[in-house]
Structure formats: structure tokens, C-alpha cells
Amino acid sequence: MREIFQSQLQEVQARLVEIASDSARVIEKASKAFTTSDATLADEAIAIADATGNKALALDELVIKILAKQSPVARDLRVLVSALRISASLERMGALAGHIAAIARYRFPGSAVPASLAGTFAEMGQLDVKLAKQVVELLKNTDADFAREIQAQDARVDELHRHVFDVVLGDDWKENAMFTVDVTLASRYHERFADHVVDISSKVSYLTTGEWAETE
């Protein structure tokens, strides 16, 4: 029984890793599409994001099946409940990255980012991609120190997010409302993407250290 359960947990973990890899691919294509106005990449990002949603739902069904068959308690139960939450975060990450791609698609062949913010969005995109790839590794290895290292990087994304507003609300901002709307939403999507990375890292971290009370 225990052996079956362990192999089921491994299956859950493998699927989380797969969905995380998808999310990393979506944000990689989406942020590149957004900063370089590449409609093909944007379409690819949107297609993967759609598929990611279905994979997350299938994983949730698997988790419910395991809960029903194995009636786990203590740590095993928390691992499975955490898997449900991590899957929800990964799905949102895919959706948010898809939204970024959709803005690029919508403005094509024009750019969604004015020159004054090109560097900021390039860095924000690279950070989100890096964070997403680190989540893939984290879900493979579930290392508490690595989880905390990931969480610490969110501060820079928040800083860039605030910088976007400083630029948009500054005296030198002469762009039209379309640019203002696009960069406002895109910046928000990048920031929320990183928030979900932090949420996932917290869950893995506390699963590993056993300090539940602080997150839940």
C-alpha cells in the first residue's frame, strides 16, 4: 500500500514539474514576444497556456483520486493539499504569461512597449523566466534553502513594477493612453507571475521544514 502511495506521489510530483516547465516556456515566449513584437511567439505562448490549464485540472483529479483511495494523514496529506495549491498557482502563472502574449499579439505589428520602458520590461521578463525555471528545479528537488533563495528574488520584480509606475506617472511620459494601458497591465501581470512563484516556494519550503503555522 505504502509503495503504491509513494509511486502515486511521484506521479503527482512529475506532473507538477511538467506543468511548471510549461509555465516557464509560456513566460519565455510571452516576454520575448512582448519586448520584440513577435506575433508567432505570442501565438505559441497562448497555445501552451491553454493546454497548461487542462493539465492542471487533470492533476487535480489525480490528487482527489489519491486522497479518496489512500486517505493519507499528517505530512502525506499536506503534500497532496499543497499539490492542489501549487497546481492552481502554476495554472495562474500560465494564464498571466498568456495575457502578456495577448497584449503583444493585439498590438502587432506595433510595439506594446515604448522605448523608455524597453529595458525595464526586458529585465522583468528575464526575471520571471528565471524564477519560473527555478520553480521547475525546486519542484524536482524540494530544497528549503533553494526555496528561500527564490523568494528573495521577488523584491527586484516588485521594484521594477514600481519603476514602471514612476515612469508612467512622471513628467517625461508623453506616450498615448494605449501605451499607458498596455504597460500598466503587462507590469501587473509580470508582478503577479512572480507572486505565484513566491507562493509556490513558500509551500515547498514549509513542506520541507514542517513549519506549517506560518503559511497556513
Q: Give me the residues that bind a copy of itself (CB under 8 A), please.
A: 57, 60-61, 64, 67-68, 71, 73-74, 77-78, 81, 84-85, 88, 165, 168-169, 173, 177-178, 180-181, 184-185, 188, 215-216
Locate cell 497556456: which residue? Answer: 49
Among 99, 105, 129, CA closest to 23: 129
Peptide bond between residue 109 and the one before it cis (omega within 30 degrees of 0): yes
Q: Which C-beta is closer to a copy of itself: that of 25 or that of 203? A: 203
- CA gap 160, 187 in Å, rounded: 8
Q: Which C-beta is closer to a copy of itself: that of 129 or that of 197? A: 197
CB of 154 closer than 8 Å to CB of 195: yes
Among 170, 185, 183, CA closest to 112: 183
Q: How far is the CB of 153 from a copy of itself (least distance, A)?
A: 22
Q: Which C-beta is closer to a copy of itself: that of 25 or that of 99? A: 99
Q: Which C-beta is closer to a copy of itself: that of 145 or that of 214? A: 214
- CA gap 75, 7 in Å, rounded: 16
Q: How far is the CB of 80 from a copy of itself (least distance, A)?
A: 9
Q: How far is the CB of 64 from a copy of itself (least distance, A)?
A: 6
Q: How far is the CB of 85 from a copy of itself (least distance, A)?
A: 7
| Whole-number CA gyration radius for the chain | 19
Locate cell 511538467: which residue? Answer: 18
Q: How far is the CB of 137 from a copy of itself (least distance, A)?
A: 25
Q: Which C-beta is closer to a copy of itself: that of 145 or that of 174? A: 174
